[in-house]
Structure 1
């Protein structure tokens, strides 16, 4: 685009994306409509109306600007599309926009400051030290509800079946624990109130 927004204009337009906002999910997303992911429809050249979803943008900071590149740091609620933000900001500025690089700095209470490269982990000769350097697999999932299953229910869930469970929320994802195996993965509450497997760590 021939339009070259100033830094002040970029800052001004960013203000509308802070706090509680609504975002229309992009067509190239995994959200399902009538059981079919939007990205599959998009690949077929089909565009449909999508309902806006509410998100919380805790903070949104312009860290660097050298046209045509904008560097932004933000903290947002689960499910927010940063690609959608780039598109929306570009539209607001009248010049268009897309993501050229994206780096996740943290999730839940885990941050890159606490991370370790595979090379650094491999350099630890002692197995005990290696184990101490690893965090539990469920530590990054503390933001979603917890559900505990009996041994029998966990058995059927791990074989792909939806099961009944006490204490399920009405919808959304949950982290799943078995009485004998501990944390076993993430599940999804179905429309009929059962728990279906989504990502499991055991089989």
Structure 2
């Protein structure tokens, strides 16, 4: 009898993992989880270390910034960045997930017209109070809200302050509307659709969602997994995540001190007086930190060959 079990791939035949440092701006497709997207990029580039900057639901497509190697140290700066979305709201029903993947919990025959929608949009611009969806990654006593909701538990999330810079109606046709939003950290577009539907009195949920910008990364920067034959064409520098911070060039001796976690004294008229800053040496990122009493105190140091 022949043994037809698949043969294990010899260890020496497996691609060797490499030190890859930088950002890949992935255009994630619908149906792929953020975790699977990271794994696909990591595998395509044979990278040792990778992580994403902000989960994108499987239902959603668009910009998913993926940090490789030393870039993972700059993820918080991207997470705090502004985001842009284009999304479709289906009117007439509310679901338990606030999108089309959930179960319908309430219906109505009411359908809004464009003027009703536009009249209420200003209510959702600026700093507003928003209750996150029950199916979200927010933790309740150490448990993810979506895990509790899937187990049938009643999930009660508290409203929190979020900031929406722009919310506009792009197209309206019967029971569907396409909108665009620019917003800050922690904003749930699914909650915008839900709350807008309730405010109009017609109910609503997300039917399609695409993220078009995250911090400095836009659709013009994005690539799909199949185009990652080589990182040279797609890999963005680590310091791209720090584009909104001032920078300063330091000497090799100063770079050495920063790399050891030691502060350096900044002199000269152009030296910042306060705030966050990043330092480079010979065009290579060395550290990011805070200015305190005329010194740069490093909080993150980078091993990029400075």
Q: Give TM-score, length-normalised by structure 1.
A: 0.64
Higher strand share: 2
Match of 2:303 in 1: 180
The structure-2 alpha-carbon separation of the partners of 1:140 and 1:96, relative to structure 1 and needing over 3 Å to count, comes to farther
Match of 2:152 in 1: 45
SS for the counterpart of 1:99 is strand
CA distance in 1, matches of 2:202, 2:137: 27
Match of 1:134 in 2: 235
Between Structure 1 and Structure 2, whose CA radius of gyration is higher?
2
CA distance in 2, matches of 1:32, 1:149: 35
Q: CA deviation at 1:140?
A: 4.0
CA distance in 1, matches of 2:185, 2:239: 16
Q: Size of the alignment, in residue pairs?
A: 151
SS for the counterpart of 1:135 is coil
Q: Give TM-score, length-normalised by structure 2.
A: 0.44
2:106 is the counterpart of 1:5: no
2:139 is the counterpart of 1:32: yes
Match of 1:158 in 2: none
Query: Following superposition of structure 1 onto structure 2, how do residues 111-150 of structure 1 map, counting pairs within 5 Å?
Result: 111-118=218-225, 122=229, 131=232, 133-137=234-238, 139-140=240-241
**Structure 2: any 5+ residue segments left out of the alignment?**
1-107, 246-257, 262-288, 291-298
SS for the counterpart of 1:4 is coil
Q: CA deviation at 1:67?
A: 1.9
**Coordinate RMSD, CA, aligned:** 2.8
Higher mean C-alpha deviation, range 48-57 or range 16-25: 48-57
Q: Is the 8 A contact 2:132 2:157 kept in 1?
A: yes
Q: Is the 8 A contact 2:129 2:160 kept in 1?
A: yes
2:81 is the counterpart of 1:81: no
Q: CA deviation at 1:38?
A: 0.7
Higher relative contact order (CA 8 A, sep 6+): 2
